[in-house]
DNA sequence: CAGTGAGCGAGCTTCCGCTTGACTT
């Protein structure tokens, strides 16, 4: 089976790995006769959208999914657009080779990539699967000498995973579009990640703080001290008359002492009284307890731990960490950075040990190399731990690196070296001090310290803590050398108040850690998971904290109520078990998918992630059933959250708002809630404030004529100005007075519009004059821009300025012209494409509301994403038209369509605005508005500016 | 969520995981 060295010398072999950087390294190890090239990741995948679905499947009901759910979930694969060139290159290289080695990673995805390569390249020469877990000369040579066969079962497991993710994502996301907001998304990973963040916020909202007090005493030994024997030290009150004093951990999340705990809860008065009663007390050491301390080094980095430490020590976000690591990897400074393994190769262990001896001395080197057992449950261990590359580690100084790359390398280097050093050992000491108060109570204080007698690995590396206030476990704290019975004097005794704090929000790093522990996501995706939930507007960053939006509350609420099993925290872990069974040949992919998608009763495997339903009773409905009948999902209900006092927070298509009372009823109130208001800050009081003064208003001044205040705000149809009528003005009924309102011109923005502008705008419509028949002509600003109106006859104006300047003669001249039927019709076609072979009509490309489209005057078809006005050929035009004709005229609820369109469009604009806002927060505070700035964008930016004038 | 008039082609959004450049801001 294995190729002998004789045959190796003869032919030429093509070795395909996943990463170009890896290809480069391996090339050097294999020498002549081997051509090493990269696949650059996956080369084929399910079609992304309709545009990528091959023509022959278009029109199939399942084409949208890219998986034929009616035929054993047969997937449609297409070569990724950006991989076409690479595939071509691989084909060419293969044509010149006598043997093909598929050397992709040895994990589920790698096996699948190998299989796809085989399917696409269709090799006519012998194919071998070769695997290695570390990139060292020996490992590579051994891998070449010991190839194996492709593991089709493992490929099946990957394909099942892929299909499940597609079905989940592409079936559940549209539910959110219909019930919450367009363009939202749901997925096995992102939805659980979002749920974690939401659930933490719920805990924070429900949290009730508790106040508790204690005393801190500063005690003196009466000796002159030094660093190893300080003369004074601080100790905290730990017990009174033998009863332990309550600390933060004794309180539950409701703000009361946990059940049945006999602790003494001190309030401020009690604490101060006790402090006073201890003022004259003489103290003595009651006990000294010393315990040995031992700490082992941390395992070498894997992706998640690197992200966590880079966040804590260097302040990098997950994405930044991976980008810097990628550069280090590409330039040969470190091993692969997307790994779930903490294993070091033999070479690496030797290199680390050599460096320990050289830098710290043999005393710091353990007798045997240290090994670290995998802690990650679903680890696939295709790579080594992240470490400095090579068989001799370069010290940071030797690398010549600088900036972030230097800092990250140094972190990796230190951690790797430290992982092969001895334990740190020392003592931890607890000293208890006692004294009797003036009123006869026994007060016990306690202090603990730690001395390190041998630093071991700490010489090289100390891990950072998530909570900067928490005392580092590794840090030393020295207490004076006291013994039982020693007299101490209290220099000062102070009463300190404390409050329990709600659980901290997730940070990027802590969320990634949580996901890894729950087996959700993979090393290559952790950073992008954060990116996805940020992009969707499910979370936003406040400092380093990830704060869920109200939108995410609505989405998670819907998913929990109607897709409970899918957002169960164990869903992925359970799926992984099932996939492992498929990989071992103990389960079949198709029945498993059938059960997931079509539900129980459609032949299936027992238990596991294939139970898609919400777990109600015994019936386990399939995903298909859940997304088909949406009548049970009350959109209003899932996006409503009571705030208290009759106020409800709702998540609407245009963002969150608070509301009191029913619409159109007496006392109905409604106000926008800023997109970036942390949900736990929306108290009843805050909601009342918002209702009292709708947010987003720009007060422009007072109309000198009416005396009414004039404000600018963002509305349903974009930014507008309006006057605030005095209290008591009837708003409904016969005598209703409507405030004058007017949309801003396109050239204006909410944050820059002036009172003069507003007054001018509100003076519209302007009467231009009357025509010969005495019909009044007015100039108005409308949805489609400035226009003239005479009865029911309206004509567009070219500029907004004309509204104020156009004369009657000019207006009459416009009306003398025949009416233009729409502005689009007036525009010349962008391109002519000759005559359509079917309709025999001339085909042209036009620019419409939805972008460029081809038309023969009868059938219209929008250009697809890959089409371009400049390069489109007549043939492609005919093809698009033919496709369109085949599909037949799209006739839906034609009447309702316009309103719906406007809504959807608007929502999109706002969505973009949210994004722009988020981007603005992270990036510099430049005015990035630039050319394409929509009105909505400007509005959002304006809101932000208004909210934070300190900038 | 304010309410102002015409005429008109829908198509697409979305998942997770594997990899880098090629793009623009």
Please report which confidence band the pLDDT of residue A732 belongs to, taking 50, 70 and 90 as the band edges: low
Q: Is the CB of A887 under 7 A from strand B?
A: yes
Chain length of chain A: 951
Please report which confidence band the pLDDT of residue A2 belongs to, taking 50, 70 and 90 as the band edges: very low
Contact A661, A639 (CB under 8 A): no
What is chain A's mean pLDDT, rounded?
85
Q: Is the CB of A538 under 7 A from strand B?
A: no
Question: From edge to edge, which strands make up the β-sheet containing A776-782?
Answer: A766-770, A776-782, A785-790, A793-796
Cβ neighbours for A241, distance < 8 A, ≥ 6 positions apart: A441, A442
Q: Is the CB of A624 under 7 A from strand B?
A: no
Q: Is the CB of A75 under 7 A from strand B?
A: no
CA distances from A542 to A56, A508, A539 (A): 49, 11, 10
Residue A790 has pLDDT above 90, yes or no: no
Q: Is the CB of A14 under 7 A from strand B?
A: no
Q: Is the CB of A124 under 7 A from strand B?
A: no
Please report which confidence band the pLDDT of residue A889 belongs to, taking 50, 70 and 90 as the band edges: low
Residue A912 has pLDDT above 60, yes or no: no
Higher per-residue confidence, A754 vs A676: A676
Q: Which residue is nearest to nucleotide B9 (CA to C1')?
A: A860
Distance A803 CA to B5 C1' (A): 16
Distance A527 CA to B16 C1' (A): 13
Active site residue A336: yes
Cβ-based contacts (< 7 Å) between A 403-422 and strand B? none
Strands, E, within A411-505: which ranges? 424-436, 442-454, 487-499
- 8-state DSSP, A932: T
Q: What is the mean pLDDT of residues A336-349?
A: 96
pLDDT of residue A550: 97
Q: Which residue is nearest to nucleotide B20 (CA to C1')?
A: A40
* DSSP H or E stretch at residue A177: helix A152-179
Higher per-residue confidence, A535 vs A654: A535
Active-site entry in A77, A212, A293, A336: A336
Please report which confidence band the pLDDT of residue A29 belongs to, taking 50, 70 and 90 as the band edges: very high
Instruction: Give the span between the Cα atoms of A300 and A337, in whole angstroms.
Output: 12
Q: Is the CB of A893 under 7 A from strand B?
A: no
Q: Is the CB of A199 under 7 A from strand B?
A: no
Instruction: Give the span between the Cα atoms of A73 and A67, in whole angstroms.
Output: 6
pLDDT of residue A719: 78
Higher per-residue confidence, A731 vs A760: A760
Distance A716 CA to B7 C1' (A): 22
Residue A317 has pLDDT above 70, yes or no: yes
Q: Which nt sits closest to A862, CA to C1'?
A: B9
Q: Which nt sits closest to A907, CA to C1'?
A: B13
| Helices and strands per DSSP (H, E), number in chain A | 28, 33
Residue A372 has pLDDT above 70, yes or no: yes
pLDDT of residue A609: 59
Q: Which residue is nearest to nucleotide B11 (CA to C1')?
A: A862
Q: Is the CB of A804 under 7 A from strand B?
A: no
Distance A565 CA to B14 C1' (A): 20
Instruction: Give the span between the Cα atoms of A864 and A19, in whole angstroms.
Output: 32
Higher per-residue confidence, A698 vs A93: A93
Cβ neighbours for A499, distance < 8 A, ≥ 6 positions apart: A209, A210, A211, A212
Cβ-based contacts (< 7 Å) between A 566-605 and strand B? 572
Residue A895 has pLDDT above 50, yes or no: no
Q: Which nt sits closest to A793, CA to C1'?
A: B5
């Amino acid at each position: 089976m294995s190729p002998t060295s004789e045959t190796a010398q003869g032919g030429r072999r093509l070795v395909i790995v996943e990463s170009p950087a890896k290809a480069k390294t391996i090339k050097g190890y294999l020498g002549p006769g081997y051509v090493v090239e990269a696949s650059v990741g996956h080369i084929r995948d399910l079609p992304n959208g309709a545009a990528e679905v091959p023509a022959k499947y278009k029109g199939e009901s399942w084409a949208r999914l890219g998986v034929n759910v009616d035929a054993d979930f047969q997937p449609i694969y297409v070569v990724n657009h950006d991989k076409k060139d690479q595939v071509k290159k691989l084909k060419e290289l293969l044509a010149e080779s006598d043997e093909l080695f598929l050397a992709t990673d040895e994990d589920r995805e790698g096996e699948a990539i190998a299989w796809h390569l085989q399917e696409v390249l269709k090799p006519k020469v012998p194919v071998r699967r070769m695997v290695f877990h570390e990139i060292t000369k020996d490992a590579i040579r051994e891998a070449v000498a010991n190839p194996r066969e492709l593991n089709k079962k493992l490929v099946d497991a990957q394909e099942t995973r892929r299909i499940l993710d597609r079905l989940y994502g592409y079936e559940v996301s549209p539910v959110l579009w219909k019930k919450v907001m367009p363009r939202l998304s749901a997925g096995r990973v992102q939805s659980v990640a979002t749920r974690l963040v939401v659930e933490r916020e719920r805990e924070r909202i429900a949290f009730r703080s508790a106040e508790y007090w204690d005393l801190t005493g500063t005690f003196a030994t009466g000796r002159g001290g030094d660093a190893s024997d300080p003369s004074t030290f601080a100790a905290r009150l730990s017990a009174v008359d033998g009863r332990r004093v309550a600390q933060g951990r004794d309180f539950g999340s409701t703000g009361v002492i946990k059940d049945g705990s006999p602790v003494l809860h001190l309030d401020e008065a009690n604490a101060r009284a006790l402090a006073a009663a201890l003022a004259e007390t003489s103290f003595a050491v009651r006990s000294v307890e010393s315990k040995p301390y031992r700490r082992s080094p941390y395992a070498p980095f894997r992706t998640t731990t690197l992200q966590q430490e880079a966040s804590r020590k260097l302040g990098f976000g997950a994405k930044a960490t991976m980008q810097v690591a990628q550069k280090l990897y590409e330039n040969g400074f470190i091993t692969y950075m997307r790994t779930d393994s903490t294993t070091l190769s033999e070479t690496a262990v030797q290199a680390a040990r050599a460096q320990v001896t050289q830098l710290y001395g043999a005393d710091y080197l353990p007798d045997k190399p240290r090994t670290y057992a995998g802690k990650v449950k679903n680890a696939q261990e295709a790579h080594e731990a992240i470490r400095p590359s090579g068989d001799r580690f370069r010290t940071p100084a030797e690398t010549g690196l600088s900036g972030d790359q230097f800092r990250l390398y140094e972190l990796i280097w230190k951690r790797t070296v430290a992982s092969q050093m001895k334990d740190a050992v020392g003592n931890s000491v607890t000293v208890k001090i006692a004294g009797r108060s003036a009123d006869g109570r026994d007060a016990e204080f306690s202090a603990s310290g730690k001395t390190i007698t041998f630093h071991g690995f700490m010489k090289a590396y100390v891990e950072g803590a998530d909570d900067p206030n928490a005392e580092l476990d590794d840090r030393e704290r020295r207490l004076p050398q006291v013994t039982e019975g020693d007299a101490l004097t209290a220099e000062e005794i102070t009463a300190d108040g404390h409050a329990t704090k709600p659980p901290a929000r997730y940070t990027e790093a802590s969320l990634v850690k949580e996901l890894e522990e729950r087996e959700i996501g993979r090393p290559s995706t952790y950073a992008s998971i954060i990116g996805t939930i940020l992009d969707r507007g499910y979370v936003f960053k406040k400092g380093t904290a990830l704060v869920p939006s109200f939108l995410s509350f609505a989405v998670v609420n819907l998913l929990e109520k109607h897709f409970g099993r899918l957002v169960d925290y164990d869903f992925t872990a359970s799926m992984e078990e099932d996939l492992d069974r498929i990989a071992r040949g103990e389960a079949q992919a198709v029945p498993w998918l059938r059960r997931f998608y079509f539900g129980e009763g459609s032949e299936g495997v027992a238990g596991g992630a294939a139970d898609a339903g919400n777990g109600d009773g015994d019936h386990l409905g399939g995903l298909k059933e859940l997304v088909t009948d949406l009548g049970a999902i009350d959109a209003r209900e899932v996006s409503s959250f009571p705030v208290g006092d009759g106020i409800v927070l709702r998540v609407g298509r245009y963002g969150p708002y608070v509301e009191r009372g029913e619409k159109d009823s007496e006392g109905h109130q409604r106000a926008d809630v800023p997109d970036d208001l942390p949900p736990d800050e929306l108290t009843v009081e805050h909601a009342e404030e918002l209702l009292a003064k709708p947010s987003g208003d720009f007060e422009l001044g007072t109309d000198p004529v009416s005396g009414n205040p004039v404000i600018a705000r963002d509305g349903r149809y974009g930014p507008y100005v309006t006057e605030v009528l005095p209290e008591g003005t009837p708003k409904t009924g016969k005598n209703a007075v409507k405030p004058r309102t007017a949309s801003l011109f396109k050239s204006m923005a909410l944050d820059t519009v002036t009172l003069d502008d507003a007054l001018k705008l509100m003076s519209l419509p302007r009467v231009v004059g009357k025509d010969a028949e005495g019909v009044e002509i007015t100039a108005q600003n409308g949805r489609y821009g400035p226009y003239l109106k005479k009865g029911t006859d309206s004509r567009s104006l070219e500029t907004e300025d004309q509204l104020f300047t156009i004369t009657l003669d000019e207006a009459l001249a416009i009306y003398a012209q025949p009416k233009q039927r729409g502005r689009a019709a007036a525009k010349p076609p962008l391109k002519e494409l000759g005559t359509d072979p079917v309709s025999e009509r001339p085909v042209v490309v036009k620019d419409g509301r939805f972008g460029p489209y081809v038309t023969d005057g009868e059938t219209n078809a929008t250009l697809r994403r890959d089409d371009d006005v400049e390069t489109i050929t007549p043939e492609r035009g005919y093809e698009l038209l033919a496709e369109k004709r085949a599909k037949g005229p799209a006739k839906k609820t034609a009447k309702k369509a316009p309103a719906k369109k406007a809504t959807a469009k608007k929502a999109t604009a706002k969505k973009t605005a949210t994004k722009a806002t988020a981007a603005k927060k992270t990036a510099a505070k430049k005015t990035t508005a630039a050319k394409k700035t929509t009105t909505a964008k400007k509005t959002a930016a304006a809101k932000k500016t208004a909210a934070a004038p300190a900038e």
